[in-house]
Structure 1
Amino acid sequence: MNQTASQTSLSVILLKIILPVCLIALGVAGFWYYKSKAVKFKRKPAEKTAPVVDIIKVNPDRVTAQIRAMGTVQPDREVEIKSQVAGTVIQVAPEFVQGGLIRKGQAMVRIDPADYTLAVNKAQSALAQAQADFEIEKGQQQIAKEELKLMATMSPNEIPETSLVLREPQLEQAQAAVASAKSDLDAARLDLERTRIIAPFYALVLSKQVDEGAMTAAQGTLATLVDVTCYQVEVQVPLDRLDRIRVHETNGSPARIRSLYAGREWEGRVVRTTGTVTEQSRMAGVIIQVDDPLGLGPAKGRPAMLLNDHVEAFIQGQAFDNVFSLPRTLVREDSSLWIYNDGRLDIRKVAPVWIENDRVFIQSGLFPGDFVISSDLSAPVSGMALTLALQESP
């Protein structure tokens, strides 16, 4: 019985040893079998491909710099009309209303002239009296001269001709009275004339303070008028662009004015600068004059320009000859351009002479017929091979 137990233990030990060995051998055999049957791939060397690019052919041209600026419409001439005499307003013109248009020389307001007419009549009477006194005094002087001659013939001694004897002071006094009376008459007539308030220019009534029946005092405000023959637009321009603008009263740089809200447009010209620089933005003030802003004269039919309207101005500045105009995005960070040159990349430094919102003007560094690359390159290297897009042809 002991022999049987020993045989059973030996069999278990052999099974635990032989079975793992057989499994390992079987796995190794399977691995080598499948390895011998695996598909083998042959690696091919990587093909070098040139980047595909788009190009733009450039040629020089004459271009005009354009300066864009923002501004506000303002009156070129605004005056406050005041009465020079006191009185009751007895008449106003139908156009004398806010927003009304009054032509130059037209009577706007009339003040009661009765008191001033009486003053003129009184001054005329005083002048007539002074002139009569003057004539009488001239006669008295003539009598004094004759009496002096008579006394000289009768007296053995010489009688001196003094100014007092000849009544010269009295004559000068009478003459001064005449001049004073004439001045009083002129002043009275001037006050009478001032009872009619006339427009000093073709004007827009911006505001009015009196109406018919109102009592006005001397130096009392009647209305505020704005000259409608021209308006002005004050815009702010960067200092580095001011030299490109021609400033002249009659031949300044042309400018196109566009309303930001209504879309209306007007033509103007740069006539002067404000002579100051803004404190915060450090920009120069430029005045653009717009003639006939309401379309009442030569520009009849043009939309009316409104005061205090916010506008956008496009000023035509200096003209550049033989410059290349390119989109601003084509100039790279280091102020260079990528040029397609016979299948190769040529990187050129350029110096723009003018930059606008989305355009850049280049005068040196490019040649007529050059092909500027408009595509982006991840790693541009001068001389690298390039391929044109299918639709491109140099």
Structure 2
Amino acid sequence: MRQTASQRSLGVTLLKIILPVCLIALGGAGFWYYKSKAVKFKRKPAVKTVPVVDVIKVNSDRFIAQIRAMGTVRPDREVVIKSQVAGTVIQVAPEFVQGGLIPEGQTMVRIDPADYELAVNKAQNALARAQADFEIEKGQQQIAREELKLMAEMSPNEIRETGLVLRKPQLEKARAVVASAESDLEAARLDLERTRILAPFHALVRSKAVDAGAMTAAQGTLATLVDVTCYQVEVQVPLDRLDRIRVHDTQGSPARIRSLYAGRAWQGRVVRTTGAVTEQSRMAGVIIRVDDPLGLGPAEGRPAMLLDDHVEAVIEGQAFDNVFSLPRNLVQENSSLWIYNDGRLEIRKVAPVWIENDRVFIQSGLSPGDLVIQSDLSAPVPGMALTLASQERR
């Protein structure tokens, strides 16, 4: 039996309605099925955590501030030796070489004395003649006095004595000639002595300008000498640390000097400042005296200090009593420390008196036995609860 066109149209319409409804129903059933099978998580209430910290137990002690500075070795006394007479150098001491050591009073250079010996002889002869003329003039004066006496006895008129009649000017002239001859002889002898150039102190020959056979003029340079009884080290010290140093010729702050290149070390003391601030670094110049730098005297056997060497000086400064030494990184902003106080955080203001390398020294604000926190706290709040770590360092 054939379906009519209206029946076929009705069936198609019902199919278009029923099929989507069925699909929607199946999807909803599937969603509720899978939702009923999903894992359910139960939220637990938040647990408040307490930071765990490491601490350092502090105690006070005595501390001597040390100021480190860089410097250069300089002569304490350096002189340029010049000849006072001209002539040919006929002899030099074996030690008269660059770097040589010459004891005080030893002859370094000798200039040919022949001309000066002749000058001494000539001056001696001139003095002898002047003295003879002076004696003759004294005799002439005595004769003039006697003649005046006889003339006074024979003449009825009074005869007056005058200096010219008694030859007093002539006598004074003869006396002056003697004095001049004596001075000439003394000058000639002095020039003869100056042909020997002696070391004025125990000296190191830093440089020399003549040798045997050379001609030297008056005021000609012979050598540059350095006194080896002591050297000085000029170092630069920050202005804020200068007050911690004792400056005194005999009781200045002790200092240990170490060569940056050779590793040698010497002892010295601060004797003075340069009285000026360096233009570039704006630091104060401090002079450290080193006695017997070559180890020739009481410090025999000590390594020799070299001039112009670059050195590091560690100067002992002011002593601090009852100070606490802590790592520098434990000091927080505004010079405060984190203190563990009976399970709570205390932020305490302190007063550092000295900072040296990675250590800070505190004189007030701490008490012996305080526990200083060395752990980092992300959000420190005064009074917050804290817990000590199992490996507490004391």
Q: Distance in 2 between matches of 1:340 and 1:220?
A: 78
Cα offset, 1:11, TM superposition: 3.9
Q: Distance in 2 between matches of 1:357 and 1:11?
A: 98
Q: Distance in 2 between matches of 1:354 and 1:392?
A: 27
Which SS does the other structure have where 1:369 is aligned? coil
Cα offset, 1:155, TM superposition: 2.7
Change in CA separation of 1:393 and 1:105 when aligned onto 2, cut-off 3 Å: closer
Q: Match of 1:83?
A: 83
Which SS does the other structure have where 1:312 is aligned? strand
Q: Match of 1:204?
A: 204
Q: Match of 1:152?
A: 152
Which amino acid is the alignment partner of residue 42 of structure 2? K
Which SS does the other structure have where 2:3 is aligned? helix
Q: Distance in 2 between matches of 1:196 and 1:12?
A: 145
Q: Match of 2:244?
A: 244
Which amino acid is the alignment partner of residue 125 of structure 1? N
Which SS does the other structure have where 1:85 is aligned? coil
Q: Distance in 1 between matches of 2:2 and 2:153?
A: 209
Which amino acid is the alignment partner of residue 337 of structure 1? L
Which SS does the other structure have where 2:270 is aligned? strand
Q: Distance in 1 between matches of 2:207 and 2:2?
A: 137
Q: Match of 2:338?
A: 338
- The answer to whether 1:65 aligns with 2:65 is yes
Cα offset, 1:175, TM superposition: 1.0
Change in CA separation of 1:34 and 1:215 when aligned onto 2, cut-off 3 Å: same
Q: Distance in 2 between matches of 1:104 and 1:7?
A: 146
Identity of aligned residues (%): 86
Q: Match of 2:235?
A: 235
Let me know the Cα RMSD of the aligned residues.
Answer: 1.7
Q: Match of 1:321?
A: 321
Q: Match of 1:302?
A: 302
Q: Distance in 1 between matches of 2:4 and 2:158?
A: 203
Q: Distance in 2 between matches of 1:393 and 1:344?
A: 18
Which amino acid is the alignment partner of residue 55 of structure 2? I
Q: Distance in 2 between matches of 1:393 and 1:315?
A: 33
Q: Match of 2:226?
A: 226
Q: Distance in 2 between matches of 1:86 and 1:248?
A: 44
Q: Distance in 1 between matches of 2:311 and 2:102?
A: 26
- The answer to whether 1:359 aligns with 2:359 is yes
Deviates more, 1:144-153 or 1:81-90: 144-153
Which SS does the other structure have where 2:368 is aligned? coil
Deviates more, 1:139-148 or 1:314-323: 139-148
Change in CA separation of 1:134 and 1:387 when aligned onto 2, cut-off 3 Å: same
Map 1:1-394 → 2, pairs under 5 A:
3=3, 6-392=6-392
8 A Cα contact 2:207 2:223, kept in partner: yes
Cα offset, 1:219, TM superposition: 0.8
Gaps of 5+ in 2: none
Change in CA separation of 1:393 and 1:239 when aligned onto 2, cut-off 3 Å: closer
Q: Distance in 2 between matches of 1:220 and 1:236?
A: 37
Q: How many equivalent residue pairs? A: 394
8 A Cα contact 2:69 2:235, kept in partner: yes
8 A Cα contact 2:325 2:360, kept in partner: yes
Q: Distance in 1 between matches of 2:315 and 2:104?
A: 32
Which amino acid is the alignment partner of residue 24 of structure 1? I
Cα offset, 1:8, TM superposition: 4.6
8 A Cα contact 2:105 2:199, kept in partner: yes
Gaps of 5+ in 1: none
Which SS does the other structure have where 1:115 is aligned? helix
Deviates more, 1:355-364 or 1:100-109: 355-364
Which SS does the other structure have where 1:305 is aligned? coil
Cα offset, 1:341, TM superposition: 0.9
8 A Cα contact 2:57 2:393, kept in partner: no
Q: Distance in 2 between matches of 1:50 and 1:240?
A: 43
Q: Deviations over 1:84-118 (max 9, x none)?
A: 11111111111111111111111111111100010
Cα offset, 1:338, TM superposition: 0.6
Q: Distance in 2 between matches of 1:372 and 1:391?
A: 15
Which amino acid is the alignment partner of residue 107 of structure 1? T
Deviates more, 1:41-50 or 1:110-119: 41-50
Change in CA separation of 1:232 and 1:28 when aligned onto 2, cut-off 3 Å: same
Change in CA separation of 1:119 and 1:42 when aligned onto 2, cut-off 3 Å: same
Q: Deviations over 1:250-302 (max 9, x none)?
A: 11111111111122111111111111112222211111111111111111111
Cα offset, 1:393, TM superposition: 6.1
Q: Distance in 1 between matches of 2:393 and 2:165?
A: 117
Q: Distance in 2 between matches of 1:364 and 1:157?
A: 111
8 A Cα contact 2:54 2:393, kept in partner: no
Q: Deviations over 1:130-189 (max 9, x none)?
A: 111111111222222222222223333332221112211111111111111111111111
Which amino acid is the alignment partner of residue 85 of structure 1? V
Q: Distance in 2 between matches of 1:292 and 1:322?
A: 37
Cα offset, 1:2, TM superposition: 7.0
Cα offset, 1:29, TM superposition: 2.0
Q: Distance in 1 between matches of 2:268 and 2:187?
A: 44
8 A Cα contact 2:93 2:109, kept in partner: yes
Q: Distance in 1 between matches of 2:4 and 2:305?
A: 126
Q: Distance in 2 between matches of 1:373 and 1:379?
A: 14
Cα offset, 1:127, TM superposition: 0.9
Q: Distance in 2 between matches of 1:392 and 1:261?
A: 43
Change in CA separation of 1:22 and 1:117 when aligned onto 2, cut-off 3 Å: same
Q: Distance in 2 between matches of 1:351 and 1:221?
A: 60
8 A Cα contact 2:56 2:393, kept in partner: no
